[in-house]
Structure 1
């Protein structure tokens, strides 16, 4: 239904689908504009962002004119803002424009019911339900600890702003979903803030005067997710090899393949070997890092081509690593420099060098089509796909400095949020150029609006190797559920976590619990972390390795069900991991973020709290069967035993895959 404006004596109401979304009055304006300048500091992908507001103008005059609304301030009538309306399936669009380009700030208050719940915001780590908090939308490192009350976060903040907060994320997106079955998206790459601290009000701040506000509505929440997926793009189905066994991550140079054979001999179902260090190693105080020159390092892996071919004969793919930066001491940097493919300093024609912590790297300028094509073909195409890689971690994307000079002349403050999408497109274009869209894959942590159309698989980034509330194992569930509501169908995490600093190391309990969690995600992939020598690994003990082997077999047995979910995702955009409320629209489920539906026919409730051997599980309507015992459960909250290897998992009694689930029970319940 089109927008409808109801003029009042002292203002106007703007309705959409008979719901009042804006109530603007001269004394209490819903819309303000202003002039501001950013006060910003960046240290290795971590940002401190403040705003210096010079002018904040209340729009206390208004008139309806030619299908739009004009607004201005009585004391500055020459500065006019307009609201224009457009219907463009699947969304309605409210366009905000200002006549004076000096005005670069917009504040908007939308109306909502006090009972509405909101979710989305990109890939959120701490809170699935957004009510009661502010969420800035700015892609960055998420931080280490992410809890300002903890010693770890405080230590990391003192060292390069690196502690993070509840809202910091690699993948923000100014899109939110309401329990009232509508969604709102800000079509802008500018820095923006969603303010839900006050019930009945949705506050929006945007560092741009020209913004499109897109509204979507549907009869149900699943239908709404489908509309958002239609808007932002669909991922291709994951290839069979990615979902039918585990991907083992090792980075031990010439010793990698001996260790891999030990893990394979355990009986684990393995379809991939992932070696980040295929490009070589650079040792830093942070830990073992990579040499950012994206090609085979023959000194570290002298027989790699033959080994990739040997793995392929066994049905095992080889995966690597790449990111959009080039180490200044690498050969590919010199190649990019010679072609003028690097972003420049603003005060000279010198290439911009980014400090990544004890080494510098250049920024390949993806606003230059020739540079983007060069990276896609010369690096990903020739050095990776043609070499034999079937997948890779496409890391970073959130580091673009805000003081670079770009080929297309765009404002780096806005290009910063767009950068992950450009990076995802480079990877997808490279795969498509080799005709491997349904065979090769890559996974990213960074994102922004539209990344869905290019990135086939998200991963949750760099969690601490612990159980902490804001940076531990539990955050990967929140990440999957929040991003899934915005059309990101496939999600997974680093099995075991990644970040180990200041005495935080993996425990055997954490490894066991993460193995259980990873088995019930579309992709099961391990990671050795930033300090492999300090941390437990899959092959550190017979107990861990045996557990991994068992659960990788469970993961492999689920492949027919996961394939059906992938097909559903292609058709509808529905994510594989879903919050309970997506199918059971009950306010009692609105805050649940520690368990999930895996498709419509499975409930997964991993143990994500240290020291627990059981946990409460919320069961919605229907008849549900405990995967391991076969016991039937009905609606309610049940305390479920959770020994290692038997995380609380339930399946619908009437599922079309009931025979598959029963076969898993028979094979793995002992």
Structure 2
């Protein structure tokens, strides 16, 4: 129901697309031969020159900064929290511009430089008001031909541990970009940068930090090439994500993130991880503000990075049973739910995304973005919600930050929110002042201008009085990745605010829930920004293809959750069964019953267990399609329910500390062979899960961290720790383990046995 561009693949001419960007601009356009084929040469890190007078150690109120001919390091309480790459520039700058191509939420940046200032001098170091201030100059690689600039680096204590590093630049011609280059041990893994659907270790990559549609296929073939050819680059790449932001941790146990309250932190940025001894972060702004931390171990490191943040909590009802995606109207929802309940499913809520009505386009079934109940589709709505509530089942719905003209729906008495917002000046505008209507595939929609406090307040009232009316307990808060970079806003530059838009959307949603007077309101988001967890309790991993692949299927969902967790999203889940189904003619991409079951097994050990019918519900098996699929799903909901007390403790810890609920093995067992795996995960620190990620597999291999013994949670079998074992994992019996001496082991085993395992 969500994505505008995927309903069918129609062979058509492709739009030329290019991606370029980074500390060293790289262009590639394999499907766009009309674009320039030349490659922009890589610019190697510049040299560092330190004046003799600047060598030494300067102590501020809580930090010590050491400067040598090799570079700069920052210590807090005797611990190194940041260091530069030896003998290389740690501040660089650039002049140039970023141009954009955009199509239905896909944004393709092209970076062009006029000047690259990679040569750095450190001329002076002093202590000013308790902060250590480093000043110097930047110049071109050959020392001539480029107009130089000066910089000021201010280092001081971070109130919640670690330090802050602020970089400001100046020059007769201002810089357009500034980069901070961090050192790391050769080959030390790098994790984070938001929700990245690539290997958990991002070493060797060049990552554009831009919020956008994640793509259909993302390298999986033939769907990626077909989507590129027919939908203007919609296939995507493995760099694309709904949730990118500038935050990372390294296996050196140091972390850096930009400050969420600094507008420049949300500007387009590029992370350069290709140098095995450095992490470069270039922000397209003339200044940046970074927070740097360290930890004794990976868990302490992530907790240190998130320390001081406010994080929204999540109501307990969402973690007791499944949230089941249903649609079709009152009668259909009752019948589909009855099938699941008769099979013994534990259901916490129904998710009725089509509550606002359904429209049909040439791409398939879509929603009416009018954000009011479709009473013809859902007659006796209040009775439905009340009946479900009597059974302990909540009702949740759907909304996004866009409005469409309700006049086209031709429903008497329907409130036209689009017209209201247009007439009040609450919509994002084009440069000519007209509402910025964006193509959604046979209809258009326009974003509410969330930079306008009055517009944000108005839309929060819409959420409170329309979306959350009649006892609704929450909703999917979709989209927010599609702000056009050339839009005109009430306040600010759209190109700079593009990456911040998801956070503004989350603020609006939180305000709507507050005005509805619903402390137990649960919402979930797919687009992400720095600092968003302050207003958003729950996230999901976006729109996966209904396949098994690491590029865009089941395995990619796990990768995204691992990355998002260490980046500041403590509570993340995915659509059970995937979302995107496409008939590409050469191959019809539909989910199989096996994939649906394996996805449910993974999310039985997740934060939230939520199903989705997908964009082609009639062509794809559903958890309620047959008695067999209903029984299989019901069995997993009982397993999910058996873990409820443990899950509540894990969720509470995640909200309190920022350490994610879904954890890579690296967080729990660093320095072991198991730590390298990104095909298994921990729920909290006790339960290790090895999901089946390959079609047809009936066994799974798991790397067990050191321990005396590990106990299979479902079978009771014991395995020696610090070993790689292959265990049986038939359908309906996922592989999960707890240390034999873990305090939760016996309690969880008893609960799982009582659930029928």
Using structure 2 for the length normalisation, give the TM-score: 0.84
Contact 1:620 1:634 in 2 (8 A): no
CA shift in 2, pair 1:160/1:231, >3 Å? farther
Aligned: 1:336 with 2:421: yes
- 1:296 deviates by 0.6
- Residue number in structure 2 paired with 1:557: 642
Deviations 1:609-646 (A, max 9, x none): 11100010111122221112211112111101011111
RMSD: 1.9
- 1:109 deviates by 3.0
Give me the whole-angstrom Cα distance separating, in 2, the residues matched to 1:662 and 1:93: 46
CA shift in 2, pair 1:13/1:662, >3 Å? closer
CA shift in 2, pair 1:58/1:521, >3 Å? closer
- Residue number in structure 2 paired with 1:412: 494
Deviations 1:437-471 (A, max 9, x none): 3x111000100111111110011110001112210
Q: For 1:326-475, list aligned pairs within 5 A.
A: 326-329=403-406, 331-346=416-431, 348-377=432-461, 379-408=462-491, 410-437=492-519, 439-475=520-556
Listed as ranges, the gaps of 5+ residues in structure 2 are 1-61, 127-132, 260-264, 408-415
Deviations 1:118-170 (A, max 9, x none): 111111112211112122110001000011x6221111122122111112111
Contact 1:373 1:426 in 2 (8 A): yes
Counterpart pick for 1:538 among 623, 647, 655: 623
- Residue number in structure 2 paired with 1:567: 652
Q: For 1:207-222, list aligned pairs within 5 A.
A: 207-222=284-299
Q: For 1:153-168, list aligned pairs within 5 A.
A: 153-158=224-229, 159-168=231-240
- Residue number in structure 2 paired with 1:311: 388
Give me the whole-angstrom Cα distance separating, in 2, the residues matched to 1:118 and 1:363: 35
Q: Secondary structure at the match of 1:628?
A: coil
Q: For 1:186-201, list aligned pairs within 5 A.
A: 186-187=258-259, 188-201=265-278
Give me the whole-angstrom Cα distance separating, in 1, the residues matched to 2:94 and 2:619: 51
- Residue number in structure 1 paired with 2:182: 110
CA shift in 2, pair 1:562/1:93, >3 Å? same
- Residue number in structure 1 paired with 2:41: none
- Residue number in structure 1 paired with 2:713: 627
The aligned length equals 660
Give me the whole-angstrom Cα distance separating, in 1, the residues matched to 2:336 and 2:280: 53
- Residue number in structure 2 paired with 1:260: 337
Give me the whole-angstrom Cα distance separating, in 2, the residues matched to 1:105 and 1:240: 45
Q: For 1:500-649, list aligned pairs within 5 A.
A: 500-501=581-582, 502=584, 503-622=588-707, 623-635=709-721, 636-649=723-736
Aligned: 1:88 with 2:158: yes
Aligned: 1:71 with 2:137: yes
Deviations 1:390-428 (A, max 9, x none): 0110000101010100101x1111110000001011111
- 1:550 deviates by 1.1
Using structure 1 for the length normalisation, give the TM-score: 0.95
Contact 1:318 1:391 in 2 (8 A): yes
CA shift in 2, pair 1:133/1:61, >3 Å? closer
Give me the whole-angstrom Cα distance separating, in 2, the residues matched to 1:402 and 1:24: 37
Listed as ranges, the gaps of 5+ residues in structure 1 are none
Q: Secondary structure at the match of 1:551?
A: helix
Contact 1:481 1:579 in 2 (8 A): yes
- 1:587 deviates by 4.9
- 1:549 deviates by 0.9
Contact 2:123 2:135 in 1 (8 A): yes
Deviations 1:318-348 (A, max 9, x none): 00000000013451101111211111111x2
Give me the whole-angstrom Cα distance separating, in 1, the residues matched to 2:475 and 2:258: 31
- Residue number in structure 1 paired with 2:38: none
* Bigger mean CA deviation after superposition, 539-548 or 445-454: 539-548
CA shift in 2, pair 1:666/1:200, >3 Å? same
- 1:32 deviates by 2.5
Counterpart pick for 2:246 among 167, 174, 196: 174
CA shift in 2, pair 1:293/1:93, >3 Å? same
- 1:522 deviates by 1.5
- Residue number in structure 1 paired with 2:31: none
Give me the whole-angstrom Cα distance separating, in 1, the residues matched to 2:559 and 2:312: 20
